[in-house]
Amino acid sequence: MISAPASEPLRRFLQVARGAGLRVSAAEGIDAARAVDLIGYADRTILKDTLGLLLAKTPDEKAAYEEVFDLYFKRDEFAGDKVDDQDGGEPNEASSPSNGEGGDGMGGQGGQSLGSLLSSDDRATLATAMEQAAREAGIENIRFFTQKNLYARRILDRMGLRALERDMEAMRQTGTPEGLGRAQFLEGKVDQLRDAVRDFVERNLILYAKGETEKFREELLKSARLSNLERRDLDRMRILVRQMAKKLAARYAKTRRRRLRGQLDTRRTLRRNMGWGGIPFITVWKQKRIEKPRVMVLCDVSGSVAAMAQFLLMFMYSINEALSDIRSFAFAGSLIEVSDILEKEPVEEAITKIMSLIGFGSSNYGNSFADFEDGWMKHVTNKTTVIILGDARGNRTDPRTDVIGRLSQRSKRIIWLNPEYRSAWGTGDSDMFRYAPFCNLVTVCSTLRHLERAISDILEDAA
């Protein structure tokens, strides 16, 4: 059986490893605990190799594991000969990431005062005392840079700094050379201790806050207007798009049939069991077929909405497991089909190619809708969902609402995703209110969360 003290540092390491992006299952955590119970913490090389084999699966995870292991097991605040000489130069158990035993919160470690530890320069015991004090201070809960000084002070207080400061003041009050010299010596040691504690807290901030910071940033990016994103955010957004699309696909595309439990198909059951004289050895249950929705996406890739269009195209093709018959079209002054480009090339390269062909121009909705009617309206059926992404600003050209009217009659529904605020609809050259009567849904869609909700609704209706 694995003891609680031995498993506690491993539990915290698994916590920071998950925060760094490693996918560690409960079973892998149990395997890691059993391995640590056998090999211990003394030989860090063996420990690192063993946990690496158990926890890191992909090249990215291996790189993250290397970084987080070195950071978590780094114990050099009080590095020196007194630590290294033990166990033939190998780190001892006391200086490992806390074994959970030892001191009483400090007056000192094992009853020793902080002043005695600093005077004796017992670095191994100081390191263990600092980690114990950090646990008591709740260092695992540190999340923000502004908390560094707070946790540093908590750790120092639990190590006994307040009592030592009172003793040092009493030494100064004596006015004797011995008292003043002793106080000055301890003051230098306390300064070194403060620096070591600050470094320790900063390293724990990096360890424990990294996962929470990434989650916070992801939530921020999902809720940010796509038109406001900076270039440095685009790579992360692409990852989020794929993750969200994969989640939706897994939710709605695992099976194309749903069993209606409790409703026996009597005719098929009897027919299936004719070989046994009609005795129902094998039952057949009624099933409902789940049709994948057929989707046509018309994306305005003119300058005003180009960023949003790129994400919509990426999102739609990331969930092609859950949708069938996706056909995508891009338009600005005219309209072209881009399905083949997106199918034959990697999505990022395909989008770049599409934007170079037709993107960033001046929009003409009426002309683009007429192009769609001439070339592809015949492919629209009563099972087709048409998604239009655009701000409906046609630069005061003919909006051709008659085409949208005929499209509405042929299709299952039209969903219009407008990246502008609702208050801007109908202002200036916006024709949104002219198109709206022919659409089943018109909604603001300016963030990744809006986009996910819209696509999720399409899949929900299809199910």
- Domains of the chain, CATH where assigned: 4-219 (no CATH), 256-289 (no CATH), 294-462 (3.40.50.410)
> Are 384 and 294 in contact, with CB atoms under 8 Å apart?
yes
144-203: per-residue pLDDT in tens?
778 888 999 999 999 999 999 998 999 988 888 888 888 889 988 898 899 889 888 888
> Are 77 and 156 in contact, with CB atoms under 8 Å apart?
no
Strands (E), 240-318: 257-264, 285-289, 294-300
User: CA angle 5-9-14, nearest 5°?
Assistant: 130
Supply the pTM of this predicted model: 0.56
Instruction: Say which residue, 100 or 275, is predicted with more confidence.
Output: 275
User: CA angle 109-115-119, nearest 5°?
Assistant: 100
365-386: per-residue pLDDT in tens?
999 999 999 999 999 999 898 9
Instruction: Say which residue, 376 or 287, is predicted with more confidence.
Output: 376
The pLDDT value recorded for residue 425 is: 93
User: Three-class SS of residue 361?
Assistant: coil
